Each structure stands twice: as structure tokens, then as C-alpha cells.
A = this chain, B = another copy of it.
């Protein structure tokens, strides 16, 4: 066996990007623990404070100041322990100064590895950064770590973060449905739960897991992929109330009509000056009230659904950790501009492994719910969809509790001493 050439020790940077999830910190733990195990090749592991913004402003966190116990606790702590950012870099020619700044910061701190934990936008950024490094003579190994509750990344079978929000939505739908059924004789007959997923209906689809046989809630699922038809929706609600005594609706925030207009942007809600989505449920409730006269309730889970680590999917937590760990291993194996993906080997029993894809294949692409996962009438999920979804919510991974509350960790997040004299405004 020939003597291995000695690889220089380089530092690494980890950054969280975009909307956080209840398991993104499990990916962070995967990255950090793997880096610590490979201390002969990776020196310091830094984290960007609020992701790429921290990298641009040279506001770095020294993860080596955190204890092994704190890092372990990341596996059961939701949201972004180092802070995340919604900050999209544009093309190399348009945002050249920013890419150059990143390389400048990397050079100042001898960062040879960049682990970017995000969705398709982030993969685009990381991919471009690796190109810019080459151009500027400072090559950086850029590895993506997939994350998104929306489950809309291509290639990977599923996205870490999704399984837990899916479990939250399925459990909440099942629970709220029992509540409505209890009340329906004299009170609420229609309940609407609005869930995330602006473009892809994966989270709404997960609501379908709440029921298992005909007549079970939810009786209506509204997907962004299926054009909303008011008359058909109302007919189905009425039918459900007449047949079962009540109706449970799970509606994606991205529900839109045939012209592509979001329901959330319609009707009286405009008076709020709403620009964010988040008004589908009240809009639907108003339709029901006006046209059918039923008493309704609605819920908008918003951040609760994606931060609900207390009801996370065990499979999701494991996969989130695994992609973080794999990212480091890929980097050390000499791969670049790739992202670990989940590969499904079988659904029953569920078996999965980690694969790899070039970032360029993931960047800026979205995976929608395929038509054959949605029932012909557009209001439910098919057995194929159920087979796909069910393994992703399997198992519980409860956090430890103290005084009746989950014992989530707050890191020290000690700053790294700045080395650059120039500031950078973001």
C-alpha cells in the first residue's frame, strides 16, 4: 500500500439557510460530530451566524467551544441553532461582489470546506460559490445538506424536515377531527386546517394520513397542484356534512384557482394589506359560511408545524443526521458540488440509504406532488401516495423534558475573532 499523501488540515464552515425545520439542527449535529471525528483533516468548524449573512459579514461562530453534550442536544432541538437567513445570491455576474466577499472571508479563515444546509436556492448558491472559488484561485469544497419542510427537492426521495412536519399535520388533523366530530351535532360542522407548502402540496397530502378508511377525516385536501373550483369544493363539503355530520378540510397555503391566483390573496383579506400567504383557511371558512351556512372553525399552524420537535418523526431525525454526516464524508472523499440524498430501497419494510447528486441537478428545481398521488376527484391521496408518505412519519423521537417542557439546548455561539478590516453591508 503506497504512503498516502498528507492532506493539509483545513477549516470548515457550516451555514443554515432558509426556513428552518424541527430537525435541521440534527443535520448540524451530523456535520459537527463528523468533523470532530476527522480532526486530522478538518481543523475548526465554524458556523455562519444567521447563515450566509454571517459568512458575508465575517460574523462566524466557533463550534469547537460547544460541549459534546450540547452538540448531542442539537439532535432534539428544533429551529436553527446558529441562526438562518432568507438571503438569496443571484447569478455570478449580478452578485459577483458577494461571491468574492465570501471567498475573501473563506481565505482569511482558511476555510476549505463549506457545508450549506438548505433547499434548492441554497444549492444554487453553493454551486456557484464553488465555481467562483475556482475562478479566484481559492478552491473550496462545497457540499449541500438538504433541508426543507416542503419536500420539493428533486432527486432525493424525501427531504429532511418534511417527515416531521408531515407527522405533525397528520397527528393534528386526526386529533382535531375527533374534536369536530364531537361538537358537530350542535356546533362546529366544518373545520379547516391551513398548512404550509406554497408550490408543492406534500404537506397537505400528509394530512391525508390522518384517516385510514372511507369516511375518515380529512374529507377534503386542497393541493396547489389542483386548481381550486369553488362549486366543486362546496358540493364536497356539503356532501361530507350530510353523510358524516361534519367535514374536515386540510388546505395548502398555496391553494390557487385555474388562473393561478392564490386563494390567500382573494376576498376581504386584501384589506389587511397581506402580502404573505396565510389566509386560505379564513377565505374558505367564509365561503362555507356564506354558501352553506355551517358553523366553522379554522386553524393556521404556521411556524408551529415546522418547529414541532416534540412530535418529530424518528425516521426524519435519523435522515437529517445522516445527510449532515454524509456531507462531511463526501467532502473528505474528495467530492465537490454535490449533495447527499435519501435513496429509498423499499417501502414495506422501509429501507433507505444515502446517495449523492450533483448540486447543479438540484438547484432551483421543484418536485411537485405527482398526479397519480392525488385521487381522481382531486380531494384526497391515493394508495401510492400513502405508501410513499407512511414510512416518513414512522417512529417517535421525543426530546427529554424538564419541568413539563422539552429541554432544548441554547448554544454559546462564541464569535470567531475577525481577521478582515473591511465591513460588508448586507
Contact = CB atoms under 8 A, between A and B. Distances in A.
Interface of A: 16, 19-20, 22, 50, 53, 77-81, 83-87, 167, 170-172, 174-176, 178-188, 191, 193, 209-210, 268, 271-273, 276, 278, 282, 285-286, 289-290, 295-304, 306-311, 313, 390, 393-396, 398, 401, 403-406, 408, 426
Nearest to A270: B268
Contacts of A405: 167, 170-171, 174, 209-210, 393
Given A175-B303, A299-B303, 16 more contacts: A20-B183, A77-B178, A79-B178, A84-B182, A85-B183, A167-B405, A174-B408, A175-B408, A276-B295, A278-B298, A299-B300, A299-B301, A310-B311, A390-B403, A394-B403, A395-B404
A195 to B, nearest CB: 11
Contact of A286 (B176, B178, B272, B403): B272
A59 to B, nearest CB: 10
Contacts of A285: 272
A130 to B, nearest CB: 23
Looking at chain A's contact residues, the main secondary structure is mixed
B187 A83 contact: no
A276 B304 CA distance: 22
B50 A186 contact: yes
B273 A271 contact: no
A176 B79 CA distance: 8
A393 B404 contact: yes
- Give the residue among A20, A171, A174, A282 with the most B Cβ atoms within 10 A: A171
